[in-house]
């Protein structure tokens, strides 16, 4: 299945996964950008945003769990997020934390909060519509991870 066919499938988990990839890039970018502020609270939220982005890398690109040396405990933690509802939950929690960052003043961390919320909504819609989680083949979904072994 090509990338265009994946998007035409109308499976919201595919949309959620690709929005998650945008969230990874955005969390890392705005986290690094805001870490250089002189606001101690914003620095804390920036570190949380960077950590969220790094966790999402392993959640959304399962191929990396095979090639990166990680602990069994971390692998077990990441493998919890295999259903649409669990992914929606982790995204909504990460989004809520970034929305709380408004307490330290408006910053670009709000963009990360918005995109995390959108990804959460896509996964929640997939769960409500009883769509099975389908990982994108481009990101290491069905088939690619098994080919490496």
Q: Flag whether 80 is in a domain.
A: yes
Q: Flag whether 5 is in a domain.
A: no
Q: Flag whether 137 is in a domain.
A: yes
Q: Flag whether 100 is in a domain.
A: yes
Q: Flag whether 4 is in a domain.
A: no
What digits encode the pLDDT tens for the residues 33-50?
999 988 999 999 999 999
Q: Flag whether 27 is in a domain.
A: yes
What digits encode the pLDDT tens for the residues 74-101?
888 988 888 899 999 999 999 999 999 9
CA torsion through residues 132, 114, 136, 142, sign: negative
Q: Flag whether 30 is in a domain.
A: yes
The first and second tokens of residue 72, run together, are 């069994």
- Say yes or no to pLDDT of 103 above 90: yes
What digits encode the pLDDT tens for the residues 8-28?
677 888 889 889 999 999 999
Q: Flag whether 3 is in a domain.
A: no
- The helix/strand count (H/E) of the chain reads as 8, 0
CA distance 55 to 117: 16
CA torsion through residues 61, 65, 67, 68, sign: positive
- Say yes or no to pLDDT of 144 above 60: no
Count of domains for the chain: 1
With bands split at pLDDT 50, 70 and 90, how would you rate the model's confidence at 145?
very low
Write out the residue range of the structural domain in which residue 33 sits.
11-148
- Say yes or no to pLDDT of 143 above 50: no
Do 124 and 14 touch, CB atoms closer than 8 A? no
Q: What pTM was computed for the model?
A: 0.86
């Amino acid at each position: 299945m090509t990338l265009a066919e994946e998007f035409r499938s109308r499976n919201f988990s595919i949309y959620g996964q690709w929005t998650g990839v945008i969230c990874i890039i955005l969390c890392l970018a705005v986290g690094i950008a805001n870490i250089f502020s002189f606001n101690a609270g914003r620095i804390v939220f920036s570190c949380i945003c960077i950590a969220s982005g790094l966790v999402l890398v392993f959640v959304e690109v399962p191929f990396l769990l095979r090639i990166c040396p990680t602990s069994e405990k971390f692998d077990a933690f990441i493998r919890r997020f295999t259903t649409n509802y669990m992914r929606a939950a982790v995204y909504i929690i990460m989004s809520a934390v970034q929305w709380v960052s408004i307490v330290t003043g408006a910053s670009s961390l709000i963009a990360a909060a918005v995109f995390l919320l959108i990804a959460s909504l896509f996964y929640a819609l997939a769960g409500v519509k009883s769509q099975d989680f389908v990982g994108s083949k481009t990101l290491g979904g069905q088939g690619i991870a098994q080919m490496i072994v």
